[in-house]
Chain A
Amino acid sequence: MKLGTFGAVISFALELEDQALGLYESLDSTLSPQLLKGSQKRINRLRRIRQELVTEMILEPITEVDSDDYIVSIPAGTDEADKLKGAIRLEENMGRYYSKSAPLIPMKEVERAFVRLAKENEMRVASINKLIASA
């Protein structure tokens, strides 16, 4: 689905983050508390962005973002190892979403926030990969 407004872009980001949060809640891993805390922080940050950075002066329509390109399905009942692989796919996916959307939003503060989120996704992927390698 095309995401044509600032609100739609943020709402989809929140959907992805909620999906990640749900996945980390179901994980039984030493990394879970850190990932969970990080996810909640990111969700709070996105909500603040939607509430504090919206300015009706520059609400231009957004083009070229399609949510269908970023949906990751992680089946229920997946085992721990598969969940971790799913987490990597989800984090990489989110990173792509933030990186692609960042330059399309006409608000520098939001663009910077998205770049930061994408960088955090990279770091989280690295942490999960390290965990898998050590298992």
Chain B
Amino acid sequence: MDAKVLKNYVDGYWVDSTSTRTTDVQNPATGDVIAKVPMSTIEEVNEAVASAKLAFEEWRETPPYTRARYMFRLRNLMEDRFEDLAQVIVKEHGKIIDEARGEVRRSIENVEVAAGVPSLMMGYNLEDVAQGIDEECVFQPAGVFCCVAPFNFPLMVPLWFLPYAVACGNTFITKPSEQCPLSQELFYELLDEVDFPPGVVNLVNGDKEAVDALLEHPDVTGVSFVGSTPVGKYIYTKGSANGKRVQAQAGAKNCLVVMPDADLDKTVMNILTSAFGTAGQRCLANSLLVAVGDVYEPLIDKLIDTAGQLTVGDGADESIQMGPVASQKAYKKIQGYIETGLDEGASLLLDGRDCKVDDYPDGYFIGPTIFTDVKPDMTIAQEEIFGPVLGVVRAATFDDAVDIIHSSPYGNASSLFTSSGKWAREFKYRVRAGNIGINIGIAAPIASFPFSGMKDSFFGDLHGQGRDAILFFTERKVAITRWF
């Protein structure tokens, strides 16, 4: 039986795309095609924008308390369908069920924070800026916004944006990842149940053609993006050139620094989650381990031993600790990087290349892979691999470790493992990365904080989530009044 072709959601209805182009959605654990996603046309994008623009006029007049109640309803529906959402993520992405549940939890947290919009959107004022003249600043919704979503957190990332945008009175278009669109399909079924006025929320599947149409459309006010640095730069440049506000979270090459005074048992477990969780397919994954001073030997011994015991398989099985990588393309790319590491002279201490999983002959499985003798200028130390490959670099001192971090063009995240408050403070203060972890391997900001990022890891001014989101999705209007 042919896999179903996904629909778009426009103006409150599920509609078939008229496009003749589709791409397959695969379960990466089995290789099975589980759906087909249409590559929507420019006309279909335009229809969604037109619907969102029309809906904006009424939606922006809806009181914030009412808009908040929509968020409460959405939150409750997501809790009710929590496990369904998690299972869909496992099927389309491959991450293990606990990681998928974590993703759903983070998604819901964004809805919960956005429900605070009656407070979050409050402005400020001052009487008698000159005698008898008062001045106020109000936060107003700005129009139609859209997001271009990545494959690695296919449910959560759009929710860094949509709940805030809509709670602030804007209307929204989601362009899901064409690789992992199914969790957004289910999420939009829930949005349909929430029963927003038609056009407030829209979903358009597609590829670059759809994205370009959004970037060029004069009625789109702002664009949110998460993905690779080359695409992030493209979206930021093109979106800005077309007069839009843009926030583009981009690529990463994060370092995890271990000091000699670190608690090694706890550190090793954190390294495992950081480097191999979600099979390394996270912009917050630490893929370069910097061992400072004489911590290298005891650290490596523990790490190789425990990493080698991680169970790899189908993420739907609760006993599995690491799933497949998300696609055949990713599989080949990661294998290529492992070969490059060997060619450049790094030593492969743990080889995940020939990972086989019983009963899953067609899955894209790569086991945990660890290189040592990595030099900071090697390809595997500089480029984002986005897979379960960890490189270990030695640094003589804390300062050398910071230099290694700063040699990267990226600045997404970095972690330090230490028992010393002094080194922790130095690290937080000096390291130019947006998301810092102290004894935390995945420095993932919770919903009321911005998901930060610097250098080539972020293009724009305001990040997703938290107060940044409220600023990104609103205009500040100043009114000065005097009464005769």
Q: Hey, which bits of chain A sit against chain B, CB under 8 A?
A: 1-8, 11, 50-52, 54-61, 106
Contact = CB atoms under 8 A, between A and B. Distances in A.
Contacts of A11: 318
Residue among A7, A56, A60 with most chain B CB within 10 A: A56
B305 to A, nearest CB: 11
Nearest to B307: A61
B306 interface: yes
B269 A60 contact: yes
Interface of B: 79, 82-83, 96-99, 101-103, 105-106, 269-270, 272-273, 277-278, 306, 310-311, 318-321, 440, 442-444
Enumerate the 7 nearest inter-chain pairs by beta-carbon distance, A residue then B residue, closest first. Answer: A56-B102, A60-B269, A7-B98, A8-B318, A7-B318, A54-B101, A57-B442
Contacts of B277: 56, 59
A4 B318 CA distance: 8
Given A56-B278, A61-B306, A106-B269, 14 more contacts: A4-B311, A5-B320, A7-B96, A7-B97, A7-B98, A7-B101, A11-B318, A51-B79, A55-B106, A56-B99, A56-B102, A57-B440, A59-B98, A60-B272
Contacts of A60: 269-270, 272-273
Nearest to B109: A55
Nearest to A11: B318
Given A60-B272, A61-B306, A61-B310, A51 B318 contact: no
Contacts of B96: 5, 7
Contacts of A51: 79, 82-83, 101, 105
Contacts of A1: 319
A99 B98 CA distance: 22
Given A59-B273, A61-B306, A3 B321 contact: no
A61 B291 CA distance: 22
6 contacts: A11-B318, A54-B102, A56-B98, A57-B442, A58-B273, A106-B269
Contact of B319 (A2, A52, A57): A2
Contacts of B105: 51-52, 54-56
Contacts of A3: 319
A56 B444 contact: yes
B6 to A, nearest CB: 26
B98 A4 contact: no
Given A5-B96, A7-B97, A60-B272, A55 B102 contact: yes
Nearest to A56: B102
A51 B277 CA distance: 19
Nearest to B306: A61
Contacts of B99: 56, 59
B76 to A, nearest CB: 13
Contacts of A55: 102, 105-106
A68 to B, nearest CB: 13
Contacts of A57: 102, 440, 442-444
Given A55-B105, A57-B442, A60-B270, A4 B79 contact: no
A4 B321 contact: yes
Contacts of B270: 58, 60
A36 B102 CA distance: 31
Contacts of B278: 56
B264 to A, nearest CB: 14
B102 A8 contact: no
B221 to A, nearest CB: 31
Contact of A8 (B269, B319, B442): B319
A8 B96 CA distance: 11
Nearest to B320: A5
Given A52-B105, A60-B269, A6 B98 contact: yes
Contacts of B320: 5
B326 to A, nearest CB: 16
B440 to A, nearest CB: 7
Nearest to A6: B98
Contacts of B103: 56
Nearest to A51: B82
Contacts of A58: 270, 273, 440, 442
Contacts of A106: 269
Contacts of B442: 56-58
Nearest to A55: B102
Nearest to B440: A57
Identify which of B269, B277, B318 gathers the most chain A CB atoms within 10 Å of its CB: B318
B152 to A, nearest CB: 12
Contacts of B102: 54-57, 59
B256 to A, nearest CB: 14
B150 to A, nearest CB: 15
Contact of A61 (B79, B269, B444): B269
A8 B440 CA distance: 23
B86 to A, nearest CB: 9
A50 B442 CA distance: 20
B304 to A, nearest CB: 15
B325 to A, nearest CB: 17
A132 to B, nearest CB: 36
Nearest to B153: A56
A59 B323 CA distance: 14
Most buried by A among B97, B310, B440, B443: B97
A19 B209 CA distance: 55
A59 B443 CA distance: 13
Contacts of B310: 61
A34 B451 CA distance: 47
A58 B277 CA distance: 10
A50 B83 CA distance: 10
Given A4-B321, A7-B318, A61-B321, A54 B98 contact: yes
